[in-house]
Amino acid sequence: MTLFQAIVLGIIQGLSEFLPISSSAHLALTPWLLRWPEPGLSFDVALHTGTLVAVLAYFRAEWIRLIRAAWEIVTTRNVANESQRRVVLLVIATIPGGIAGLALDKYAETTFRAPALIAWAMIVLGILLWLADRGAREVRSLSDMQPRDALLIGIAQIFALIPGVSRSGSTITAGLADRFDRESAAVFSFLMSMPIIAAAAFLKVPHVLHEQGLSAPLVAGVLASAISGWLAIAALLRYVTRRSYGVFALYRVLAGVAVLLIVHYRG
């Protein structure tokens, strides 16, 4: 993989990880469309460390509060305030995806990366996102979230193992369907991304380093992912305070249809 290719993939990863358009789909389809060497899922996960840095940096004040709250829970064995409640909710939301990731990891690296399957996942989730956003009543905020809500959103994250579904897309869609306002659905989706991305990076990055070493393309890709990821978070949160997710739903459907046409053309 060249330095240019790694930077392009890093930018794509950073932008598409937090926009509900599926980073895994774009990382799988870009080499396929441009006929670049297939970097593999391990390299994709390595790029996720950049977006991990982005979400930690953007929400640094929130993460400091959550770490303190987690320590208080451990020491006092009590959940007494909003920050402590949020820690518990994030733990609940992370469990389904963690279990599914361990159980279905080999399929995520092979079967689930078929272009036609990715295209249909893009289309179906795009329709569901549009329906959930169109029906959003914006009556609930993060302070209203209960364990049942966190579990529902966590279960939705399981489907993100299929490239094209989108981790942020599935969790934001679930949040909207559960009547959370657009910004709250996005913020909780971003916060719950940290544990699952960190766990995936812990498992996969050593494999990449063993195969490729700390190469210039890998470092450049991770840096590009971190910068573009930070910009994507800031842009999306500003955007959804005034507008709907409709443009992302439309993009998903059009992109999915385009991929299906290319699959058909290539035979």
Cα separations (Å) of 70 from 31, 50, 63, 154, 212?
41, 24, 10, 19, 36
pLDDT: which is higher, 248 or 199: 248
Task: Give the pLDDT band (50/70/90) at residue 244.
Answer: very high
Structural domains of the chain, count = 1
Average pLDDT, integer, range 237-246: 92
Residue numbers of the domain that contains 126: 3-266
E-only strand ranges, the chain:
none
- Give the pLDDT mean for 82-98: 94
Could you tell me the pTM of the whole model?
Answer: 0.89
pLDDT at 109: 62
d(CA 40, CA 100): 20
Rounded Cα distance between 220 and 74, Å, is 38
Average pLDDT of span 185-209? 84
- Please say if the pLDDT value at position 209 is more than 90: no
Six token digits for residue 1: 């993989």
Provide the pLDDT for residue 108. Answer: 66
Mean pLDDT of 224-253: 94
Measured between alpha carbons, how far is residue 34 from residues 8, 30, 130, 253 in Å? 12, 6, 29, 21
pLDDT in tens, 36-74: 988 876 778 788 899 999 999 999 999 999 999 999 999
Q: Residue 131 CB: number of other CB atoms within 10 A? A: 14
